[in-house]
Amino acid sequence: MACTAELLCPVGDQARREWPPRCGTFFPLIPPADRLFAAVRPIAWPKVTMRSPAFLLSRPCRRAYDKPVQPLPNILLGNMPHTQATPVLEKYLRELKQTGRRALITFLPAGDPSLEATRQLLQVLARSGADVIEVGFPYSDPIADGPLIQAAYTRALRHGVRADDIFALVRDWCTQEARAGQHSETGGQWSVVSGQGPGVSIKSRPPLLVAMCSYSLVFRQGEDRFVERCQSAGFSGLIVPDLPVEESTGLATRCREAGLALVQLVTPTTPPHRARRIVECSSGFVYCVSVTGITGVRERLPEELVERLRWLRSITDLPLCVGFGVSRPEHARWLRDFADGIIVGSALVSHLEKAENLSLPDLLSNVEGLVRQLRAALDSPAAMSGTTGGS
């Protein structure tokens, strides 16, 4: 009998009948690793409900994780028009590289310690030298986030932060930055969507924003609507860690049509054949995970990271940006010779967990100090040699 596989919902049949779950109650169904750790049960084809290509995997599809992946026909989404326009995020990072500037990408969990604090933190990161800011959409079951970011998301959800609040905040901030650019001393015009402006140098441009979220939020609103909301709010791209590359065709196509990047991750355990598939499907930049495991502050980075970056450079010309564990100026100096940018998250979030014992001005000052140190390390004329970024 023809069968497929349905992922079992760990919170019971009632939640499955109420699919999709409300924001803040979602559980990760598909981890962003190269193996699937989900319980499955066979069901007959007549009983299959085509909820989403990301949540229905047949047994042959699951076996494909352990062998070279062939392009799969997107039978659920159909053939959609393909456009070749380069996303703004990718253009911007290439411009930075041409000027010799390494991208500083910072992560900010929206709503922690409050939405107003997030608004002010965006301003601090912008003036401190961040080129791109990942805005994290809180959800209750982080996929690969360490304790610091998990706790930040929990605090934000406890405060009642929802996706609508984040879109509104980002739209207001981008509008404010656009108006500020129109009246700058250089007289340059800043476009939130295109990221181009005559008379505005790269260093004086506002940072581009990238939405980092679980696919549950995208699926609940629908890919078309979510991408449209990201574009209208002022985002330049998306990072969806729990969306496997085999299931990303639909969202990638919609992002391309909207001029947005869909950044995908390559981990230390990603097999070479799968890494090739990921970089082919990625846009904006390739998110190079430095370590095996979850996010978090680390003293040293693995020595084999350099060889992995060199190999990735041999198969793609997309910008390579390194995240997970990058937290110190020494890391930034070491990586600037091998990567096109660094991604810093937990080191910044560690300051947010101290918000209860600090005034907001002190919190902003601490974050600004760290970002300026990282920016100075990336801009240093020569990187440290013979070290993995440790002291």
pLDDT in tens, 193-234: 334 443 345 556 799 999 999 999 999 999 999 999 999 999
CB atoms within 10 A of CB 161: 24
DSSP 56: B
Q: For residue 291, what pLDDT is reported?
A: 83
Q: What does the angle CA 137 – CA 141 – CA 142 come to, to the nearest 5 degrees?
A: 60
The first and second tokens of residue 293, run together, are 């495991």
Q: What pLDDT is attached to residue 84?
A: 56
- What architecture does CATH give domain 88-378? Alpha-Beta Barrel (3.20)
Residues marked active site are found at: 134, 145
Contact (Cβ atoms closer than 8 angstroms) between residue 234 and residue 171? yes
CA distance 268 to 344: 18
Q: Which of 136, 140, 108, 139 shows the shortest CA–CA distance to 122? A: 108
271-329 confidence digits (pLDDT tens): 999 999 999 999 999 999 988 777 766 767 778 899 999 999 999 999 999 998 898 89
Is residue 101 within 8 Å of 375, Cβ to Cβ? no
Residue ranges of domains in the chain: 3-66, 88-378
Q: How far is CA 105 from CA 209, 321, 385, in A?
A: 10, 8, 23
The reported pLDDT for the residue numbered 203 is 56
Any idea which residue has 């062939």 for tokens? 70
Q: Which residue has the tokens 């998306």?
A: 238
The span from the CA of 371 to the CA of 273, in Å, is 36
CB atoms within 10 A of CB 202: 12
Confidence (pTM): 0.74
Q: Which residues of the chain have pLDDT under 50?
A: 1-83, 183-200, 383-387, 391
What pLDDT is stored for residue 104 in this prediction? 97
